[in-house]
Amino acid sequence: MSELLSDFSALVTPVCLIDENKLRANSERMQEKCRRDGVTLRPHVKTLKSREAAEIYAPRPGPVTVSTLEEARYFAQAGYKDILYAVGITPNKFSAVNELLERGVDLIVVVDNEAAVDALVKARRTFIVPLRVMIELDVDDHRAGAGPESMQLISMAEQLHNTAHIRFSGVMAHAGASYGCKTPETQYAMAEQECNRTVLAANRLKAAGLPADIISVGSTPTALSDYKPGGVTEIRAGVYATFDLVMAGLGVCSVSDIAMSVLTTVIGHQMKKNQVLVDAGWMGLSRDKGSDSHGYGLVADAGGNILDGWYVSQTNQEHGIIEHKDGLPVPDQGFGFGRQLRILPNHACATAGQYRRYHVTRDNRTVSAIWHSADGW
């Protein structure tokens, strides 16, 4: 039986399911927020590395963000031209960068340290057109980035700006610490901090006679907060497209907004342990436990209805173990051998990354489309 327009029961599990209706609603929510705030949306397409999905949540001819150069190649082939590669560039990737430039991609790369700047300057003549470069900022002491108040920021920008074949283009920041902000008030405060510190860096550059054409910030919790991001030119975010249990736990969305799930099948039981065994292990769900309050994911029936208290407590490579949070016995109804269930993911990007294709549904019963995705680095 063809997988297209087929009932879920015909699918070989595990399968990554995308609820297209929810995907469209989530995408419109972010797009409307950016329209209202007067900023450009540069979606992070690592969440769903699919051309068809991007047509909904990152429509052309808008700019996009990628996390791998393979994503850049894939989306360039799909017609995207303005692409930000948001992982610090290293010399072993210069050849791949040049290949993208040769294909007419207006690629932007990022650096956050002097060694990376020096490497770009030394390789400048290898780029067939001037390469756009931005400096990544650390606005929340979370991960990578140069200090917005540092002299290093100015010196790196000067070196890039004064180098032929390189076009210094501005600054970007990612408030990853927002994933620890559990109230609207703390999310608002983090968005304010993210924007203010990024704009501060841009203003320092401008005062030094340096360009800062792009002032880019972004994380889903800050982007969807009530804070109006004055002074920035663009917002980057990705997981808003599908949401996940981490976002629901932060109150950024509700569980019912989550557009991604993993369809899985009951393969056995451990009745003495009150456990259900399914065919979605960490290869199908990822090892990301998010806040750890939902194990490896919440359990729903095949129609997407949450089964209260049931979650994936453990995973092996191809086995998932489902239990009730209160240790209840496995009921006769709903968990029988061969029964299909759906697992809502902790981290949508990590779960989607396990699959080379996504099965799309509009009615929670049948497959309406299959979307293929980029793979590798």
CATH number corresponding to 39-241:
3.20.20.10
Residue 186 has pLDDT above 60, yes or no: yes
For residue 329, what are its two tokens? 């016995």
pLDDT attached to residue 143: 85
Give the predicted TM-score (pTM) of the model. 0.95
Residue 2 has pLDDT above 70, yes or no: no
Average pLDDT, the chain: 96
CATH number corresponding to 8-15+259-372:
2.40.37.20
CB-CB contact of 312 with 296 (8 Å) = yes
pLDDT attached to residue 258: 98
Kindly state the percentage of the chain with pLDDT values over 90.
94
Average pLDDT on 340-368 reads 96
Break the chain into its structural domains and give their ranges: 8-15+259-372, 39-241
In Å, what is the CA distance from 177 to each residue of 110, 113, 139, 193, 328? 20, 21, 9, 11, 36
Q: Please check whether the two domains, 8-15+259-372 and 39-241, share a CATH topology.
A: no
Helix residue ranges, H only, 16-172: 20-37, 51-57, 69-77, 94-102, 114-122, 151-161
